[in-house]
């Protein structure tokens, strides 16, 4: 697995491949930055947010929806303006948005995390194209790993401290129901972080603290493991012109000097080639 030179952050996350723009987008959460990388040329553009950014979605009409510490905002790349869409009812000193993505119908789902991690104070929310917000899953600690099956009828969702990935049935209205355990991370496997589903319906997951990426079959068994040159991968993304480049983000936040000396590539962005393509990432329809 190759590290992409010149890219480093505290916690790189939410990697999304923009097929139309032929670019990789990702965030640095503690750096409050949104990045756009052209892998072909190496050109990197960075926008600084007014708060920590957990995740985002590009909009069909241009710009993006960004999930910041206290709510959802519309972001204009040309002007840098960040206009509020919806403010959460939590204390932003302890709770913030974390992982999220759009489904095939252009609805944006974003989950929160309770940073002290002492209780299930987070939730998963859905932003519909008419800009209404609905709570979809309640009582999570660290919302993570959200990805949708190719048919859109099922969604994968992880609460990282529980070491489990849950699968839900997705209703026509975007509701989640019938949650059941899909995968459990046993001793030495790390915890489920960011995820993605490929064209064959397999679920890819970054195993943070496990130093690898896992590809899970739809039946909940592991099809392959790919080692990462850091114990702390955070997100996976299948991109490139043929959607067969696996991009992996990672973190170095809150690591000791000794840990970073042992794993100096932590906080980097990595890529490797795989034999199965991903799927085109939907954009927010609102």
Q: Cα separation of 74 and 154, whole Å? A: 27
Show Cβ contacts of residue 198 under 8 Å, excluding neighbours closer than 6 positions. 204, 215, 238, 276, 277, 278, 279
Number of C-beta neighbours around residue 141 at 10 A: 20
H/E run at residue 170 = strand 164-170
Task: Clarify whether 193 is annotated catalytic.
Answer: yes
**First-to-last CA distance in the chain?**
37
- 277 burial level (CB within 10 Å; 0-12, 13-18, 19+): middle
Catalytic one of 28, 103, 193, 198: 193
Q: Dihedral sign for Cα 128, 134, 136, 142, please.
A: positive
- Give the residue numbers marked as catalytic: 193
């Amino acid at each position: 697995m190759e590290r992409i030179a010149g890219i480093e952050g505290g916690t790189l996350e939410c990697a999304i491949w923009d097929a139309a723009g032929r670019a990789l987008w990702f965030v640095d959460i503690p750096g409050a930055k949104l990045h756009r990388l052209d892998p072909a040329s190496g050109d990197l553009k960075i926008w600084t947010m007014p708060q920590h950014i957990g995740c985002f979605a590009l909009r069909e009409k241009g710009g993006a929806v960004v999930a910041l510490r206290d709510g959802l905002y519309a972001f204009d790349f040309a002007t840098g303006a960040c206009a509020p869409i919806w403010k959460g009812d939590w204390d932003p000193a302890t709770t913030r948005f974390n992982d999220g993505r759009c489904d095939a119908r252009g609805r944006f789902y974003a989950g929160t995390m309770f940073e002290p991690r002492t209780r299930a104070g987070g939730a998963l929310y859905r932003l519909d194209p008419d800009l209404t917000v609905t709570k979809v899953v309640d009582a999570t600690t660290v919302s993570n790993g959200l990805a949708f099956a190719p048919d859109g009828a099922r969604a994968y969702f992880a609460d990282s401290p529980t070491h489990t990935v849950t699968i839900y049935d997705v209703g026509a209205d975007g509701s989640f129901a019938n949650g059941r355990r899909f995968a459990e991370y046993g001793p030495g496997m790390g915890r489920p972080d960011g995820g993605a589903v490929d064209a064959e319906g397999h679920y890819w997951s970054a195993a943070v603290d496990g130093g690898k990426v896992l590809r899970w079959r739809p039946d909940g068994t592991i099809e392959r493991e790919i080692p990462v040159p850091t114990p702390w991968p955070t997100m996976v993304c299948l991109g490139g012109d043929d959607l067969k480049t696996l991009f992996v983000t990672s973190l170095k936040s809150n690591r000791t000097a000794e840990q970073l000396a042992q794993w100096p590539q932590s906080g980097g962005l990595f890529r490797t080639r795989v034999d199965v393509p991903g799927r085109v990432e939907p954009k927010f329809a609102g």
